[in-house]
A and B are shown apart, each in its own frame.
Chain A
Amino acid sequence: MAAKGGAAPATYSPSLTTSKEKRRAPLFSEADWVRPDGRGFHQCRLAFMRTAAVNSASGSAYAEFGNTKVMVSVFGPRESKKAMMYSDVGRLNCNVSYTTFATASRGQVSDNKDFSAMLHKALEGSIILESFPKTTVDVFALVMESGGSDLPVIISCASLALADAGIMLYDLVASASVSYLGKNLVMDPITEEESYQDGSMMITCMPSRNEVTQLTLTGDWSTPKIHEAMELCLDACSKLAKIMRSCLKEAASPSQVEE
Protein backbone atom coordinates (compact mmCIF):
# COMPACT_ATOMS: atom_id res chain seq x y z
CA MET A 1 0.00 0.00 0.00
CA ALA A 2 2.79 2.36 0.88
CA ALA A 3 4.52 1.82 -2.44
CA LYS A 4 1.27 2.41 -4.24
CA GLY A 5 0.76 5.64 -2.33
CA GLY A 6 4.21 6.78 -3.33
CA ALA A 7 3.53 6.20 -7.01
CA ALA A 8 0.11 7.82 -6.98
CA PRO A 9 0.96 11.57 -6.92
CA ALA A 10 1.48 11.63 -10.67
CA THR A 11 -2.24 11.22 -11.18
CA TYR A 12 -3.83 12.16 -7.92
CA SER A 13 -2.60 13.81 -4.77
CA PRO A 14 -4.63 15.96 -2.44
CA SER A 15 -1.53 17.65 -1.05
CA LEU A 16 -0.47 18.86 -4.48
CA THR A 17 -3.55 21.01 -4.92
CA THR A 18 -3.14 22.69 -1.56
CA SER A 19 0.43 23.66 -2.32
CA LYS A 20 -0.75 25.06 -5.64
CA GLU A 21 -3.29 27.24 -3.90
CA LYS A 22 -0.68 28.54 -1.53
CA ARG A 23 1.44 29.60 -4.47
CA ARG A 24 -1.46 31.50 -5.93
CA ALA A 25 -1.85 33.83 -3.00
CA PRO A 26 1.25 35.98 -3.58
CA LEU A 27 0.53 35.87 -7.28
CA PHE A 28 -2.55 38.02 -6.78
CA SER A 29 -0.52 40.81 -5.27
CA GLU A 30 1.64 41.21 -8.34
CA ALA A 31 0.74 43.77 -10.93
CA ASP A 32 -0.12 41.44 -13.75
CA TRP A 33 -1.40 37.97 -13.33
CA VAL A 34 -3.88 35.89 -15.21
CA ARG A 35 -7.24 35.16 -13.66
CA PRO A 36 -7.82 31.46 -12.98
CA ASP A 37 -10.51 31.30 -15.67
CA GLY A 38 -8.59 33.43 -18.17
CA ARG A 39 -10.89 36.44 -18.11
CA GLY A 40 -9.78 40.05 -18.25
CA PHE A 41 -9.92 41.97 -14.96
CA HIS A 42 -13.02 43.89 -15.97
CA GLN A 43 -14.72 41.07 -17.79
CA CYS A 44 -17.82 39.38 -16.40
CA ARG A 45 -18.52 35.69 -16.64
CA LEU A 46 -20.91 34.55 -19.32
CA ALA A 47 -24.45 34.90 -18.06
CA PHE A 48 -27.13 32.37 -18.85
CA MET A 49 -30.65 33.09 -17.62
CA ARG A 50 -33.99 31.42 -18.25
CA THR A 51 -37.42 32.04 -16.86
CA ALA A 52 -40.10 29.49 -15.99
CA ALA A 53 -37.79 26.93 -14.44
CA VAL A 54 -40.42 25.61 -12.01
CA ASN A 55 -43.96 24.81 -13.12
CA SER A 56 -45.77 25.07 -9.80
CA ALA A 57 -44.44 28.54 -8.98
CA SER A 58 -46.09 31.80 -10.04
CA GLY A 59 -42.79 32.73 -11.55
CA SER A 60 -39.31 31.33 -11.50
CA ALA A 61 -35.90 31.77 -13.02
CA TYR A 62 -32.64 29.92 -13.36
CA ALA A 63 -29.29 31.64 -13.67
CA GLU A 64 -25.89 30.28 -14.43
CA PHE A 65 -22.86 32.57 -14.22
CA GLY A 66 -19.77 30.44 -14.72
CA ASN A 67 -19.98 27.82 -12.00
CA THR A 68 -22.53 29.68 -9.91
CA LYS A 69 -25.92 28.10 -10.45
CA VAL A 70 -28.99 29.56 -8.82
CA MET A 71 -32.69 28.86 -8.99
CA VAL A 72 -35.37 31.21 -7.69
CA SER A 73 -39.09 30.57 -7.32
CA VAL A 74 -41.69 33.21 -6.59
CA PHE A 75 -45.01 32.26 -5.00
CA GLY A 76 -47.96 34.55 -4.54
CA PRO A 77 -49.17 37.14 -3.98
CA ARG A 78 -51.11 35.09 -1.50
CA GLU A 79 -52.99 35.94 1.67
CA SER A 80 -50.73 36.98 4.55
CA LYS A 81 -50.72 34.74 7.58
CA LYS A 82 -53.57 35.46 9.97
CA ALA A 83 -51.14 36.32 12.76
CA MET A 84 -49.75 39.23 10.75
CA MET A 85 -51.20 42.63 11.29
CA TYR A 86 -53.27 44.32 8.62
CA SER A 87 -51.09 46.10 6.11
CA ASP A 88 -52.20 48.27 3.21
CA VAL A 89 -49.04 47.44 1.30
CA GLY A 90 -47.86 44.00 0.28
CA ARG A 91 -45.21 42.04 2.12
CA LEU A 92 -42.09 40.53 0.67
CA ASN A 93 -40.67 37.38 2.19
CA CYS A 94 -37.24 36.26 1.03
CA ASN A 95 -35.31 33.14 1.80
CA VAL A 96 -31.94 32.05 0.47
CA SER A 97 -30.73 28.51 0.99
CA TYR A 98 -27.73 26.52 -0.16
CA THR A 99 -27.78 22.88 -1.14
CA THR A 100 -25.48 20.75 1.00
CA PHE A 101 -23.32 20.09 -2.06
CA ALA A 102 -23.10 23.75 -3.14
CA THR A 103 -19.69 24.38 -1.62
CA ALA A 104 -16.46 22.38 -1.64
CA SER A 105 -16.62 21.64 2.08
CA ARG A 106 -20.00 20.60 3.42
CA GLY A 107 -21.79 22.98 5.75
CA GLN A 108 -19.76 26.07 4.97
CA VAL A 109 -22.87 28.16 4.71
CA SER A 110 -22.53 30.11 7.97
CA ASP A 111 -21.05 33.05 6.01
CA ASN A 112 -24.24 33.41 4.11
CA LYS A 113 -26.88 33.58 6.81
CA ASP A 114 -27.59 37.22 6.13
CA PHE A 115 -28.22 36.66 2.43
CA SER A 116 -31.98 36.45 2.98
CA ALA A 117 -32.04 39.88 4.60
CA MET A 118 -29.76 41.29 1.90
CA LEU A 119 -31.97 39.89 -0.85
CA HIS A 120 -35.01 41.41 0.82
CA LYS A 121 -33.39 44.84 1.02
CA ALA A 122 -32.16 44.70 -2.56
CA LEU A 123 -35.56 43.81 -4.01
CA GLU A 124 -37.84 45.80 -1.71
CA GLY A 125 -37.24 49.10 -3.47
CA SER A 126 -38.06 47.73 -6.90
CA ILE A 127 -41.47 46.23 -6.14
CA ILE A 128 -44.66 48.25 -6.23
CA LEU A 129 -45.86 46.89 -2.90
CA GLU A 130 -49.02 49.03 -3.05
CA SER A 131 -50.25 46.85 -5.89
CA PHE A 132 -50.97 43.86 -3.67
CA PRO A 133 -52.23 44.99 -0.24
CA LYS A 134 -52.88 42.45 2.55
CA THR A 135 -50.90 39.79 0.72
CA THR A 136 -47.43 38.31 0.76
CA VAL A 137 -45.04 37.43 -2.03
CA ASP A 138 -42.56 34.67 -1.24
CA VAL A 139 -39.19 34.61 -2.96
CA PHE A 140 -37.24 31.41 -2.43
CA ALA A 141 -33.73 31.16 -3.77
CA LEU A 142 -31.69 27.99 -3.92
CA VAL A 143 -27.98 28.02 -4.69
CA MET A 144 -27.19 24.74 -6.37
CA GLU A 145 -23.56 25.45 -6.93
CA SER A 146 -21.58 28.22 -5.33
CA GLY A 147 -18.89 29.53 -7.63
CA GLY A 148 -18.30 33.03 -6.31
CA SER A 149 -20.32 36.26 -6.46
CA ASP A 150 -23.32 34.28 -5.23
CA LEU A 151 -25.36 37.15 -3.85
CA PRO A 152 -25.34 39.29 -7.01
CA VAL A 153 -26.45 36.28 -9.05
CA ILE A 154 -29.20 35.46 -6.53
CA ILE A 155 -30.49 39.03 -6.60
CA SER A 156 -30.53 39.34 -10.39
CA CYS A 157 -32.14 35.93 -10.75
CA ALA A 158 -34.79 36.76 -8.11
CA SER A 159 -35.69 39.98 -9.89
CA LEU A 160 -36.14 38.04 -13.13
CA ALA A 161 -38.35 35.54 -11.33
CA LEU A 162 -40.47 38.37 -9.90
CA ALA A 163 -40.94 39.78 -13.39
CA ASP A 164 -41.82 36.30 -14.64
CA ALA A 165 -44.45 36.03 -11.90
CA GLY A 166 -46.06 39.23 -13.15
CA ILE A 167 -45.41 41.17 -9.92
CA MET A 168 -45.52 44.90 -10.60
CA LEU A 169 -42.00 46.30 -10.58
CA TYR A 170 -40.59 49.77 -11.03
CA ASP A 171 -37.64 48.24 -12.82
CA LEU A 172 -35.58 45.07 -12.99
CA VAL A 173 -32.86 44.84 -10.37
CA ALA A 174 -29.43 43.86 -11.61
CA SER A 175 -26.48 43.29 -9.37
CA ALA A 176 -22.71 43.06 -9.73
CA SER A 177 -19.68 42.86 -7.50
CA VAL A 178 -16.00 43.69 -7.73
CA SER A 179 -13.12 42.44 -5.61
CA TYR A 180 -10.08 44.40 -4.60
CA LEU A 181 -7.10 42.12 -5.12
CA GLY A 182 -3.72 43.65 -4.50
CA LYS A 183 -3.86 46.77 -6.62
CA ASN A 184 -6.43 45.55 -9.10
CA LEU A 185 -10.17 45.71 -9.28
CA VAL A 186 -11.52 42.40 -10.41
CA MET A 187 -15.01 42.19 -11.82
CA ASP A 188 -17.39 39.36 -10.95
CA PRO A 189 -14.93 37.35 -8.79
CA ILE A 190 -15.02 33.55 -8.51
CA THR A 191 -14.75 31.73 -5.17
CA GLU A 192 -10.99 31.44 -5.34
CA GLU A 193 -10.54 35.14 -5.99
CA GLU A 194 -13.05 36.00 -3.26
CA SER A 195 -11.08 34.04 -0.68
CA TYR A 196 -7.99 36.17 -1.31
CA GLN A 197 -9.73 39.49 -1.72
CA ASP A 198 -8.66 42.53 0.26
CA GLY A 199 -11.95 44.24 -0.20
CA SER A 200 -15.17 43.95 -2.11
CA MET A 201 -18.02 46.06 -3.34
CA MET A 202 -21.46 44.90 -4.34
CA ILE A 203 -24.03 47.10 -5.99
CA THR A 204 -27.60 46.31 -6.85
CA CYS A 205 -29.35 48.84 -8.98
CA MET A 206 -32.30 49.61 -11.18
CA PRO A 207 -30.52 50.68 -14.38
CA SER A 208 -33.43 52.40 -16.15
CA ARG A 209 -34.14 54.57 -13.12
CA ASN A 210 -30.45 54.99 -12.33
CA GLU A 211 -31.06 54.13 -8.68
CA VAL A 212 -28.94 52.06 -6.34
CA THR A 213 -31.11 49.88 -4.11
CA GLN A 214 -28.38 48.21 -2.14
CA LEU A 215 -24.67 48.69 -1.70
CA THR A 216 -22.10 47.04 0.49
CA LEU A 217 -18.40 47.66 0.76
CA THR A 218 -15.68 46.02 2.82
CA GLY A 219 -11.96 46.60 3.07
CA ASP A 220 -9.79 49.68 2.81
CA TRP A 221 -10.74 51.95 -0.11
CA SER A 222 -9.61 55.33 -1.32
CA THR A 223 -12.23 57.60 -2.86
CA PRO A 224 -10.96 57.36 -6.48
CA LYS A 225 -11.08 53.56 -6.22
CA ILE A 226 -14.68 53.74 -4.99
CA HIS A 227 -15.57 55.88 -8.00
CA GLU A 228 -13.87 53.43 -10.34
CA ALA A 229 -15.49 50.37 -8.75
CA MET A 230 -18.91 51.99 -8.81
CA GLU A 231 -18.57 52.84 -12.50
CA LEU A 232 -17.58 49.26 -13.24
CA CYS A 233 -20.48 47.81 -11.26
CA LEU A 234 -23.07 50.17 -12.69
CA ASP A 235 -21.88 49.45 -16.22
CA ALA A 236 -22.05 45.70 -15.59
CA CYS A 237 -25.52 46.09 -14.05
CA SER A 238 -26.92 47.93 -17.05
CA LYS A 239 -25.51 45.30 -19.40
CA LEU A 240 -26.90 42.51 -17.25
CA ALA A 241 -30.30 44.20 -17.21
CA LYS A 242 -30.30 44.13 -21.01
CA ILE A 243 -29.66 40.38 -20.94
CA MET A 244 -32.45 39.94 -18.39
CA ARG A 245 -34.83 41.99 -20.51
CA SER A 246 -34.09 40.04 -23.65
CA CYS A 247 -34.57 36.84 -21.67
CA LEU A 248 -38.05 37.98 -20.64
CA LYS A 249 -38.90 38.98 -24.21
CA GLU A 250 -37.72 35.62 -25.48
CA ALA A 251 -39.96 33.84 -23.00
CA ALA A 252 -42.94 35.92 -24.10
CA SER A 253 -42.50 35.68 -27.88
CA PRO A 254 -43.09 31.94 -28.58
CA SER A 255 -46.55 32.10 -27.01
CA GLN A 256 -47.47 34.89 -29.41
CA VAL A 257 -46.47 32.70 -32.32
CA GLU A 258 -48.73 29.92 -31.04
CA GLU A 259 -51.70 32.25 -30.91
Chain B
Amino acid sequence: MGGLSTGEKNFINGGVAQDLRTDGRKRLTYRPIYITTGVIPQANGSARVKMGATDVIASVKAELGRPTAAYPDKGKVSINVDCSPTAEPTFEGRGGEELSSELSMALQRCLLGGKSGAGAGIDRSSLSIVEGKICWDLYIEGLVVSSDGNLLDALGAAIKAALSNTALPKVQVASVAADEQPEVDLSSEEFLQFDTSGVPVIITLTKVGKHYIVDATSEEESQMSSAVSVSVNRQGHICGMTKRGGAGLDPSVILDMVSVAKHLSEQLIIKLESDIAAAEAYEEEE
Protein backbone atom coordinates (compact mmCIF):
# COMPACT_ATOMS: atom_id res chain seq x y z
CA MET B 1 0.00 0.00 0.00
CA GLY B 2 2.26 2.70 -1.21
CA GLY B 3 -0.56 4.70 -2.71
CA LEU B 4 -1.71 6.61 0.33
CA SER B 5 -1.61 10.38 0.29
CA THR B 6 -0.37 12.39 3.25
CA GLY B 7 -3.95 13.34 4.07
CA GLU B 8 -5.08 9.75 4.13
CA LYS B 9 -2.15 8.78 6.34
CA ASN B 10 -2.96 11.56 8.79
CA PHE B 11 -6.60 10.54 8.74
CA ILE B 12 -5.72 6.95 9.71
CA ASN B 13 -3.23 7.99 12.38
CA GLY B 14 -5.57 10.62 13.81
CA GLY B 15 -8.47 8.18 13.80
CA VAL B 16 -6.53 5.58 15.72
CA ALA B 17 -5.45 8.19 18.26
CA GLN B 18 -9.09 9.24 18.80
CA ASP B 19 -10.43 5.69 19.02
CA LEU B 20 -12.51 6.05 15.85
CA ARG B 21 -11.03 4.30 12.84
CA THR B 22 -11.75 5.03 9.18
CA ASP B 23 -14.40 2.32 8.96
CA GLY B 24 -16.08 3.48 12.18
CA ARG B 25 -14.65 0.80 14.42
CA LYS B 26 -13.04 1.34 17.80
CA ARG B 27 -9.41 0.35 18.36
CA LEU B 28 -10.24 -3.06 19.81
CA THR B 29 -13.23 -3.98 17.64
CA TYR B 30 -13.12 -6.72 15.03
CA ARG B 31 -14.70 -6.64 11.62
CA PRO B 32 -17.61 -9.09 11.30
CA ILE B 33 -16.32 -12.65 10.89
CA TYR B 34 -18.04 -15.08 8.53
CA ILE B 35 -17.16 -18.77 8.69
CA THR B 36 -18.20 -21.51 6.28
CA THR B 37 -17.00 -25.08 6.77
CA GLY B 38 -16.67 -28.01 4.39
CA VAL B 39 -15.85 -25.86 1.37
CA ILE B 40 -13.37 -28.32 -0.14
CA PRO B 41 -14.88 -31.77 -0.75
CA GLN B 42 -11.53 -33.47 -1.44
CA ALA B 43 -10.08 -32.51 1.93
CA ASN B 44 -10.71 -34.17 5.29
CA GLY B 45 -11.68 -30.83 6.69
CA SER B 46 -11.85 -27.29 5.40
CA ALA B 47 -13.12 -23.85 6.22
CA ARG B 48 -13.32 -20.40 4.72
CA VAL B 49 -13.06 -17.31 6.86
CA LYS B 50 -13.97 -13.81 5.79
CA MET B 51 -13.10 -10.74 7.83
CA GLY B 52 -14.13 -7.69 5.87
CA ALA B 53 -12.32 -7.96 2.54
CA THR B 54 -9.82 -10.48 3.88
CA ASP B 55 -10.74 -13.93 2.65
CA VAL B 56 -8.79 -17.08 3.46
CA ILE B 57 -9.34 -20.82 3.04
CA ALA B 58 -7.76 -23.53 5.17
CA SER B 59 -7.82 -27.21 4.30
CA VAL B 60 -6.71 -30.23 6.27
CA LYS B 61 -5.64 -33.39 4.51
CA ALA B 62 -4.73 -36.54 6.41
CA GLU B 63 -2.53 -39.31 5.11
CA LEU B 64 -1.11 -42.39 6.75
CA GLY B 65 2.62 -42.16 7.28
CA ARG B 66 5.45 -43.36 9.45
CA PRO B 67 6.33 -41.46 12.62
CA THR B 68 9.80 -40.00 12.96
CA ALA B 69 12.44 -41.92 14.88
CA ALA B 70 12.75 -39.17 17.48
CA TYR B 71 9.04 -39.18 18.39
CA PRO B 72 7.64 -42.66 17.62
CA ASP B 73 4.43 -42.05 19.57
CA LYS B 74 3.47 -38.87 17.73
CA GLY B 75 1.98 -38.04 14.36
CA LYS B 76 3.25 -35.35 12.06
CA VAL B 77 1.68 -32.01 11.27
CA SER B 78 2.81 -29.57 8.63
CA ILE B 79 1.44 -26.10 8.07
CA ASN B 80 1.87 -24.22 4.84
CA VAL B 81 0.44 -20.99 3.56
CA ASP B 82 0.10 -20.02 -0.06
CA CYS B 83 -0.45 -16.44 -1.15
CA SER B 84 -2.22 -16.49 -4.47
CA PRO B 85 -1.50 -13.72 -6.99
CA THR B 86 -5.24 -13.39 -7.40
CA ALA B 87 -5.23 -11.69 -3.99
CA GLU B 88 -2.67 -9.09 -4.87
CA PRO B 89 -0.49 -8.64 -7.99
CA THR B 90 2.65 -8.34 -5.85
CA PHE B 91 2.26 -12.00 -4.83
CA GLU B 92 3.02 -13.09 -8.38
CA GLY B 93 6.00 -15.38 -8.95
CA ARG B 94 8.31 -15.25 -5.97
CA GLY B 95 6.75 -12.05 -4.61
CA GLY B 96 4.43 -13.86 -2.23
CA GLU B 97 7.11 -16.20 -0.99
CA GLU B 98 8.42 -13.96 1.76
CA LEU B 99 4.95 -13.29 3.14
CA SER B 100 3.84 -16.91 2.89
CA SER B 101 6.92 -18.22 4.67
CA GLU B 102 6.51 -15.57 7.36
CA LEU B 103 2.88 -16.58 7.85
CA SER B 104 3.67 -20.31 7.85
CA MET B 105 6.44 -19.85 10.39
CA ALA B 106 4.21 -17.77 12.65
CA LEU B 107 1.40 -20.33 12.44
CA GLN B 108 3.75 -23.21 13.15
CA ARG B 109 5.10 -21.35 16.15
CA CYS B 110 1.62 -20.59 17.44
CA LEU B 111 -0.01 -23.97 16.80
CA LEU B 112 2.67 -26.65 17.01
CA GLY B 113 4.42 -25.59 20.22
CA GLY B 114 7.90 -26.74 21.19
CA LYS B 115 9.88 -29.49 19.51
CA SER B 116 8.68 -32.07 22.02
CA GLY B 117 5.11 -31.08 21.22
CA ALA B 118 4.41 -29.73 24.69
CA GLY B 119 2.11 -26.75 24.76
CA ALA B 120 0.93 -27.45 21.24
CA GLY B 121 -2.57 -26.56 20.16
CA ILE B 122 -2.71 -29.73 18.10
CA ASP B 123 -2.07 -32.81 20.20
CA ARG B 124 0.25 -34.86 18.03
CA SER B 125 0.07 -37.97 20.20
CA SER B 126 -3.63 -38.31 19.28
CA LEU B 127 -2.47 -38.88 15.67
CA SER B 128 -0.54 -42.00 16.54
CA ILE B 129 -2.05 -45.31 15.40
CA VAL B 130 0.63 -47.95 15.99
CA GLU B 131 3.58 -46.64 17.93
CA GLY B 132 6.67 -46.36 15.77
CA LYS B 133 4.88 -47.83 12.76
CA ILE B 134 1.90 -45.86 11.55
CA CYS B 135 0.53 -42.44 12.31
CA TRP B 136 -1.57 -39.76 10.68
CA ASP B 137 0.22 -37.03 8.82
CA LEU B 138 -1.84 -33.87 8.82
CA TYR B 139 -1.21 -31.42 6.02
CA ILE B 140 -2.72 -28.06 6.84
CA GLU B 141 -2.77 -25.69 3.87
CA GLY B 142 -3.80 -22.08 4.08
CA LEU B 143 -4.71 -20.07 1.01
CA VAL B 144 -5.00 -16.31 0.89
CA VAL B 145 -7.81 -15.58 -1.57
CA SER B 146 -8.15 -11.89 -0.92
CA SER B 147 -5.96 -9.79 1.29
CA ASP B 148 -7.06 -6.80 3.32
CA GLY B 149 -4.90 -7.02 6.41
CA ASN B 150 -4.86 -9.21 9.49
CA LEU B 151 -4.05 -12.35 7.50
CA LEU B 152 -2.49 -14.21 10.41
CA ASP B 153 -5.56 -13.96 12.65
CA ALA B 154 -7.85 -14.96 9.78
CA LEU B 155 -5.67 -17.94 8.92
CA GLY B 156 -5.54 -18.97 12.57
CA ALA B 157 -9.34 -18.85 12.77
CA ALA B 158 -9.69 -20.73 9.47
CA ILE B 159 -7.33 -23.49 10.63
CA LYS B 160 -9.23 -23.80 13.91
CA ALA B 161 -12.50 -24.11 11.98
CA ALA B 162 -11.00 -26.53 9.44
CA LEU B 163 -9.64 -28.76 12.20
CA SER B 164 -12.98 -28.97 13.97
CA ASN B 165 -14.48 -29.83 10.59
CA THR B 166 -11.92 -32.61 10.15
CA ALA B 167 -13.07 -36.20 10.32
CA LEU B 168 -10.41 -38.91 10.32
CA PRO B 169 -11.55 -42.35 9.13
CA LYS B 170 -11.46 -44.95 11.88
CA VAL B 171 -8.48 -47.24 11.47
CA GLN B 172 -8.67 -50.99 12.11
CA VAL B 173 -5.27 -52.52 12.72
CA ALA B 174 -5.40 -56.01 11.26
CA SER B 175 -2.14 -57.52 12.40
CA VAL B 176 0.79 -56.29 14.42
CA ALA B 177 3.92 -58.26 13.68
CA ALA B 178 7.06 -57.22 15.46
CA ASP B 179 9.15 -56.26 12.45
CA GLU B 180 6.63 -55.83 9.69
CA GLN B 181 4.56 -52.83 8.80
CA PRO B 182 1.10 -53.60 10.23
CA GLU B 183 -1.87 -53.95 7.91
CA VAL B 184 -4.63 -51.45 8.40
CA ASP B 185 -8.17 -50.99 7.23
CA LEU B 186 -9.66 -47.57 6.75
CA SER B 187 -13.30 -47.45 7.61
CA SER B 188 -15.46 -45.62 5.10
CA GLU B 189 -18.38 -45.24 7.50
CA GLU B 190 -16.95 -44.51 10.90
CA PHE B 191 -15.11 -41.27 11.39
CA LEU B 192 -13.43 -39.75 14.38
CA GLN B 193 -13.87 -36.09 15.11
CA PHE B 194 -10.70 -34.19 15.73
CA ASP B 195 -10.40 -32.60 19.16
CA THR B 196 -9.87 -28.88 18.76
CA SER B 197 -10.50 -27.64 22.27
CA GLY B 198 -6.80 -26.92 22.71
CA VAL B 199 -6.34 -25.03 19.45
CA PRO B 200 -5.53 -21.41 20.29
CA VAL B 201 -6.74 -18.25 18.62
CA ILE B 202 -4.26 -15.75 17.25
CA ILE B 203 -4.64 -12.07 18.06
CA THR B 204 -2.48 -9.53 16.32
CA LEU B 205 -2.10 -6.14 17.90
CA THR B 206 -0.85 -3.58 15.41
CA LYS B 207 0.83 -0.49 16.73
CA VAL B 208 -0.12 2.66 14.86
CA GLY B 209 1.29 5.81 16.41
CA LYS B 210 1.10 5.50 20.18
CA HIS B 211 -1.84 3.12 20.27
CA TYR B 212 -2.47 -0.40 19.11
CA ILE B 213 -5.42 -1.81 17.24
CA VAL B 214 -6.83 -5.25 16.44
CA ASP B 215 -7.86 -6.55 13.04
CA ALA B 216 -6.05 -3.90 11.03
CA THR B 217 -6.93 -3.40 7.37
CA SER B 218 -4.07 -3.24 4.88
CA GLU B 219 -4.28 0.57 4.82
CA GLU B 220 -3.83 0.62 8.57
CA GLU B 221 -1.07 -1.97 8.34
CA SER B 222 0.84 0.30 5.99
CA GLN B 223 0.98 2.85 8.83
CA MET B 224 2.12 0.39 11.49
CA SER B 225 5.42 0.64 13.27
CA SER B 226 5.30 -2.90 14.59
CA ALA B 227 2.85 -5.66 15.37
CA VAL B 228 2.78 -8.42 17.94
CA SER B 229 0.86 -11.63 17.30
CA VAL B 230 -0.11 -13.57 20.40
CA SER B 231 -1.81 -16.93 20.40
CA VAL B 232 -3.91 -17.73 23.43
CA ASN B 233 -5.69 -20.98 24.24
CA ARG B 234 -8.87 -21.57 26.19
CA GLN B 235 -7.03 -21.75 29.53
CA GLY B 236 -5.67 -18.27 28.94
CA HIS B 237 -2.14 -19.57 28.41
CA ILE B 238 0.08 -17.99 25.82
CA CYS B 239 1.08 -20.59 23.22
CA GLY B 240 3.18 -18.49 20.92
CA MET B 241 4.21 -14.99 20.10
CA THR B 242 5.85 -13.32 17.14
CA LYS B 243 6.70 -9.77 16.33
CA ARG B 244 6.54 -8.15 12.94
CA GLY B 245 7.74 -4.78 11.75
CA GLY B 246 11.19 -3.37 12.23
CA ALA B 247 10.64 -0.75 14.88
CA GLY B 248 11.52 -1.54 18.45
CA LEU B 249 9.03 -1.81 21.28
CA ASP B 250 9.36 -1.09 24.95
CA PRO B 251 9.25 -4.35 26.96
CA SER B 252 6.47 -3.00 29.17
CA VAL B 253 4.35 -2.27 26.07
CA ILE B 254 4.79 -5.89 24.97
CA LEU B 255 3.62 -7.17 28.35
CA ASP B 256 0.69 -4.77 28.15
CA MET B 257 -0.18 -6.11 24.69
CA VAL B 258 -0.04 -9.68 26.00
CA SER B 259 -2.55 -8.92 28.74
CA VAL B 260 -4.86 -7.09 26.31
CA ALA B 261 -4.62 -10.04 23.89
CA LYS B 262 -5.42 -12.43 26.71
CA HIS B 263 -8.49 -10.42 27.63
CA LEU B 264 -9.69 -10.20 24.01
CA SER B 265 -9.10 -13.90 23.43
CA GLU B 266 -11.85 -14.92 25.84
CA GLN B 267 -14.51 -13.21 23.75
CA LEU B 268 -12.96 -14.26 20.45
CA ILE B 269 -12.77 -17.94 21.39
CA ILE B 270 -16.45 -17.96 22.39
CA LYS B 271 -17.41 -16.10 19.22
CA LEU B 272 -15.38 -18.35 16.93
CA GLU B 273 -16.58 -21.56 18.53
CA SER B 274 -20.24 -20.60 18.29
CA ASP B 275 -19.70 -19.48 14.67
CA ILE B 276 -17.96 -22.75 13.84
CA ALA B 277 -20.77 -24.74 15.44
CA ALA B 278 -23.33 -22.72 13.51
CA ALA B 279 -21.45 -23.21 10.24
CA GLU B 280 -21.29 -26.96 10.80
CA ALA B 281 -24.97 -27.17 11.68
CA TYR B 282 -25.75 -25.28 8.48
CA GLU B 283 -23.52 -27.61 6.48
CA GLU B 284 -25.32 -30.67 7.82
CA GLU B 285 -28.69 -29.21 6.95
CA GLU B 286 -27.73 -28.79 3.30
Contacts and interface: CB of A to CB of B under 8 A. Distances in A.
Interface of A: 113-114, 117, 121, 124-126, 180, 194-201, 205-206, 209-223, 226-227, 230, 234
30 contacts: A114-B101, A117-B101, A117-B105, A121-B243, A121-B246, A125-B246, A126-B248, A196-B116, A198-B113, A198-B114, A200-B114, A210-B250, A211-B248, A211-B250, A212-B250, A213-B246, A213-B248, A215-B241, A215-B254, A216-B241, A217-B238, A218-B119, A218-B239, A220-B120, A220-B233, A220-B237, A223-B258, A230-B251, A230-B255, A234-B251
Contacts of A198: 113-114, 116, 118-119
B248 A205 contact: yes
B178 interface: no
Given A218-B109, A220-B237, 10 more contacts: A180-B114, A196-B115, A196-B116, A197-B116, A199-B114, A211-B248, A217-B242, A220-B119, A222-B237, A234-B251
A212 B243 contact: yes
A164 B259 CA distance: 39
B113 A214 contact: no
A117 B102 contact: yes
Contacts of A222: 237-238
Contact of A215 (B101, B113, B243): B243
Tell me what chain A mostly uses at the interface: helix, strand, loop, or mixed: mixed
A221 B116 contact: no
Interface in B70-108: 98, 101-102, 105
The CB with the most chain B CB atoms within 10 A, among A126, A200, A215, A227, is that of A215
Nearest to B230: A217
Contacts of A226: 238, 255, 258
Contacts of A220: 113, 118-120, 233, 237-239
Interface of B: 98, 101-102, 105, 109, 112-116, 118-120, 228, 233, 237-244, 246-251, 254-255, 258-259, 262
B75 to A, nearest CB: 18
Contact of A114 (B105, B120, B262): B105
Nearest to B239: A220
Nearest to A123: B246
Given A216-B241, A222-B238, A226-B255, A199 B118 contact: yes
A152 to B, nearest CB: 15
A227 B251 CA distance: 10
Contacts of A117: 98, 101-102, 105
Contacts of A124: 246
The CB with the most chain A CB atoms within 10 A, among B109, B238, B242, is that of B238
Nearest to B252: A210
Nearest to A216: B242
Contacts of A234: 251
A35 B228 CA distance: 33
Nearest 9 pairs between A and B by C-beta?
A220-B119, A211-B248, A198-B118, A124-B246, A217-B241, A219-B119, A125-B246, A219-B114, A221-B238
A9 to B, nearest CB: 22
Contacts of B116: 195-198
B199 to A, nearest CB: 13
A221 B232 CA distance: 9
A218 B250 CA distance: 20
Contacts of B250: 210-212
